[in-house]
């Protein structure tokens, strides 16, 4: 863990501004409070449009507002914000929320699935295949951006190999007590394990179906890490320096607003930590180890929490 602590210390010494950070915490705290106490921003507004385009616009604004606000607020606290003069900064600022909103709303393949399966089989395979398809829906435009902008300067965002995996395994183990506590909470058990929906489907060969379901669920996190800790950090690294880390964490928090409140809150801090790591290592593999480890432990915690609840 010494290398991770070193990255955090360097970030604190070189980048941390208490007034800016306090304002960001206030901004995201307000968004989270409004979402869970009154307005349900993700469900009532982003996903409540009458057409796919209105849903796309709703999600776009849900992601763009905290992402852009975190950048614009830096003008008041940092003197080295010359990145606003770089056209690639504006391209990524505007396109990144569009890429993710398109991923959320993508369903062009579902008509073809309906011709292959029906009933419970369709529901099962649609869920599994959606996770896999949406990885490519998100990573293809990211790859095109890298090929145009950065292919001559760096490997595809985040693919640089890790020197040591031990710090990231330790980070997963540190999360165990928090996950154990979360597994006793009602809102957590209402959401996890995601695989509990399979118990409601009248299909044969249930054991292997659970394995396929969990593998597809885990595969989805590949695109999340490549997008947030790869694309949003490493495409902006030479343009913004460490200024890109907090806006990425705000964006990352926004995609969790449809999940339990505790998960949304922790996503900001987790995104911040993993952003600092990927900025220093040029790799997303450590973040993927942590993200996958926590995701599958949350599934396990959901099963155990439901079992002991009975």
- pLDDT of 16: 95
Q: What is the mean pLDDT of residues 249-272?
A: 93
Which of the given ranges, 172-181, 214-223, 296-305, has the highest pLDDT on average? 214-223
Q: Minimal CA–CA distance to 46: which of 34, 58, 29?
A: 58
Q: Residue 310 above 60 pLDDT?
A: no
- What is the pTM assigned to this prediction? 0.91
User: Both tokens of residue 117?
Assistant: 């399966």
Any alpha helices (H) in the chain, and if so which ranges?
2-14, 18-34, 52-72, 87-105, 110-116, 119-149, 166-174, 176-182, 186-191, 206-225, 232-234, 237-240, 245-254, 261-281, 285-309
- pLDDT of 287: 87
CA distances for 187 relative to 29, 199, 260, angstroms: 19, 19, 6
User: Both tokens of residue 49?
Assistant: 């449009």
- pLDDT of 69: 98
Q: What are phi and psi of 39, to 5 degrees?
A: -105, -20
- pLDDT of 29: 96
CB 109 within 8 A of CB 133: yes
| Distance between CA atoms of residues 229 and 140, nearest Å | 16
Q: Residue 278 above 90 pLDDT?
A: yes
């Amino acid at each position: 863990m010494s290398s991770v602590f070193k990255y955090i210390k360097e970030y604190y010494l070189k980048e941390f501004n208490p007034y800016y950070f306090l304002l960001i915490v206030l901004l995201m705290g307000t968004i989270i409070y409004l979402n869970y106490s009154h307005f349900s921003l993700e469900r009532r507004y982003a996903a409540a449009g009458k057409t796919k385009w209105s849903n796309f616009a709703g999600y776009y604004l849900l992601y763009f507002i905290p992402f852009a606000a975190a950048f614009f607020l830096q003008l008041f606290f940092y003197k080295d914000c010359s990145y606003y003069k770089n056209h690639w900064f504006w391209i990524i600022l505007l396109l990144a929320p569009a890429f993710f909103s398109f991923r959320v709303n993508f369903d062009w393949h579902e008509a073809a699935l309906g011709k292959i399966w029906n009933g419970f089989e369709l529901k099962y395979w649609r869920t599994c295949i959606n996770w896999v398809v949406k990885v490519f829906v998100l990573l293809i435009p990211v790859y095109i951006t890298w090929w145009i902008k950065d292919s001559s300067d760096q490997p595809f965002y985040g693919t640089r190999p890790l020197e040591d995996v031990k710090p990231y395994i330790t980070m997963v183990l540190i999360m165990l007590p928090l996950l154990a506590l979360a597994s006793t909470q009602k809102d957590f058990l209402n959401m996890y394990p995601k695989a509990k929906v399979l118990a409601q489907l009248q299909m044969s060969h249930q054991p292997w179906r659970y394995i396929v379901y969990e593998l597809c669920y885990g595969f989805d996190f590949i695109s999340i890490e490549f997008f947030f800790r790869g694309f949003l950090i490493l495409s902006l690294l030479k343009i913004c320096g460490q200024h890109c880390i907090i806006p990425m964490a705000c964006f990352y928090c926004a995609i969790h607003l449809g999940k339990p409140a505790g998960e949304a809150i922790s996503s900001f801090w987790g995104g911040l930590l993993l952003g600092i790591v990927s900025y220093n290592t040029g790799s997303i593999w450590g973040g993927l180890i942590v993200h996958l480890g926590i995701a599958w432990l949350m599934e396990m915690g959901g099963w155990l929490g439901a079992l002991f609840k009975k």
